[in-house]
Structure 1
Amino acid sequence: MNEEIARRLREAAEAHRPDRATMLARVQRGMAGPTVRHRARPFARSGTRVALAGLAATGILATGGLAVAAIVAHSSPSPTVTTPATPSPTAGSPHPTSARPAPVAPAPATTPGSSRPTAPVTSPSPAAGESQNGALRSAGSVDPHSTVYWTQSNLALKTTQPLTSLTIEMRIVQTGGVRNTGTWQTLPSADFTVTAQEAGGTLVYRWVLKPGVTVPAGSFEFAAQFNHATGVRSAAGDGYRVDAQGTGGSASVRGGFVPTR
């Protein structure tokens, strides 16, 4: 008998489709209404009535449970679908961390043992009018204070070794009206024999170091001054030559005079 009742209850529960609104209203009325006391019935009742009463009570409980379950199922949130999360930025980082590192440009080639990129090394070209040989280095130029009537040709001479013999010669082409007006040098004038002579259409200035005198290592200047015909004079045909003897041997440099304006 009990198994039959249980089977029928299960079938009734499976076939039942509760009315949610009605069940809620009943539950609310039941909770708000006064408690109803039922008159106790005599114990001596027929077995059939007791069984029916049990069946009815069980049906009510099953129906109430199904109603509550329906309410709970309807009220529960729908399941959440989880998707792969994008990596969030780490603390102190302004951007999210990428799963793949950005491509890095290849670094310039470096010399073994050096952290700096190597670059083609080129030697500076000598400036116009400059010359170098052994311990001597020279540069000739036209003084920027020269005028349309008068010119000064400058020679900058540097030696890295003391010189026991030194001869400097400047040759100024006769372009018209060229005439010597003087010379000067940064070394003592008493250490040199200085001459200015014209020969073959050229004015030649010459400094010759006197015997027994030594020129120390350092930088020095020599200048030749002269008048010329009115106008801007070209120094294209002018030039100089230096011959020296020092502790490291002999050396010779030569060049021209480059305009500086």
Structure 2
Amino acid sequence: MSEEHLRQQLREAADAHRPDRARMLARVERGMHEQSATDEPERRPAVGWVRVAGITAGVVGALAVGGFAVGSALRPDPAPRQQQVAVSPTQTPRGGNPLWADGSVDPGSNAYWAQSNVTFKTKSQLAGLTVELRVAQTGKVNSTGHWSSLPAGDFTESVTERDGFLVYRWVLRPGRSVPVGEHVFAGQYNHAEGGRDAGDDDYVVTGRTGGGQRVSVDGDFAPVSGRRG
């Protein structure tokens, strides 16, 4: 058996990843005897054992590595570690007001007609809402309409005169809701010619969250002297 043939057998054995050390040593020893029978006598003591010893060590190392690789491949993965995530307890806001509002006269107003806007923001969805805009009777004030950025069908709307004010009122119908965000309610009216002072106008917004919390915000309009509209 040639040396190359012997190495080929050893490589095939190592590639097979079968960690049977006794079988491989026997195969190496058999190959050694076969080669000893064909080699010249003077080469046997000088080369044979050194060569076999080196090859045997390589085979054992290959088997050891191969056995580890095969064992690692077949060994079941350890159970995954369960990770625990700390979660802060839910906190219910206290004492805060989720509504913000502002009253302003629309810049499109003129010397005979005006629009007053009530803009409000809510941080919570509302299950109840009432918006009331009061425009002071400063002379010839009468309604010409009103609108809202929310669906008109969600509200009961009314315009009345009470205690020297033209009162616009929007009430959310039962079963409807107001989403989180910014919304506008506007009242439109004619008035006496010239600049109208809105300093006596005011508004109030009251609501109820889905959890039953009642919220409200109110305010007025900045007085404007000599303002047209």
TM-score, L = length of structure 2:
0.54
Structure 1: state its 5+ residue gaps: 1-132
The whole-number CA distance in structure 2 between the counterparts of 1:244 and 1:220 is: 13
1:135-193 alpha-carbon deviations (Å, 9 max, x no partner): 10101101111101001001111001000000000111111100000001110000001
Match of 1:174 in 2: 137
Q: CA deviation at 1:206?
A: 0.1
CA contact (8 A) 1:194 1:206 kept: yes
1:83-104 alpha-carbon deviations (Å, 9 max, x no partner): xxxxxxxxxxxxxxxxxxxxxx
| 1:163 equivalent in alignment to 2:113 | no
CA RMSD of aligned residues (A): 1.6
- Which one-letter code corresponds to 1:156 in the other structure? T
- Which one-letter code corresponds to 1:252 in the other structure? S
TM-score, L = length of structure 1:
0.48
CA contact (8 A) 2:160 2:166 kept: yes
Structure 2: state its 5+ residue gaps: 1-95
Match of 1:141 in 2: 104
Match of 1:103 in 2: none
2:160 paired residue among 194, 197, 200: 197
1:27-77 alpha-carbon deviations (Å, 9 max, x no partner): xxxxxxxxxxxxxxxxxxxxxxxxxxxxxxxxxxxxxxxxxxxxxxxxxxx
Aligned length: 129
- Which one-letter code corresponds to 1:253 in the other structure? V
The whole-number CA distance in structure 1 between the counterparts of 2:155 and 2:218 is: 20
Match of 1:225 in 2: 188
The whole-number CA distance in structure 2 between the counterparts of 1:203 and 1:157 is: 20
1:241 paired residue among 197, 204, 227: 204
1:109-156 alpha-carbon deviations (Å, 9 max, x no partner): xxxxxxxxxxxxxxxxxxxxxxxx611010110111110100100111
4+ residue stretches of structure 1 with deviation over 3 A? Answer: 258-261
Match of 1:213 in 2: 176
What pairs with 1:70-89 in structure 2 (closer than 5 Å)? none
Instruction: Say which one has the larger Rg.
Output: 1
Q: CA deviation at 1:259?
A: 7.0
What pairs with 1:14-53 in structure 2 (closer than 5 Å)? none
CA contact (8 A) 1:141 1:259 kept: no
Q: CA deviation at 1:257?
A: 2.1
- Which one-letter code corresponds to 1:143 in the other structure? D
Whose helix proportion is higher, 1 or 2? Answer: 2
Q: CA deviation at 1:229?
A: 0.5
Q: CA deviation at 1:256?
A: 1.1
Say which SS state the counterpart of residue 190 (structure 1) adopts: helix
The whole-number CA distance in structure 1 between the counterparts of 2:127 and 2:204 is: 17
| 1:253 equivalent in alignment to 2:217 | yes
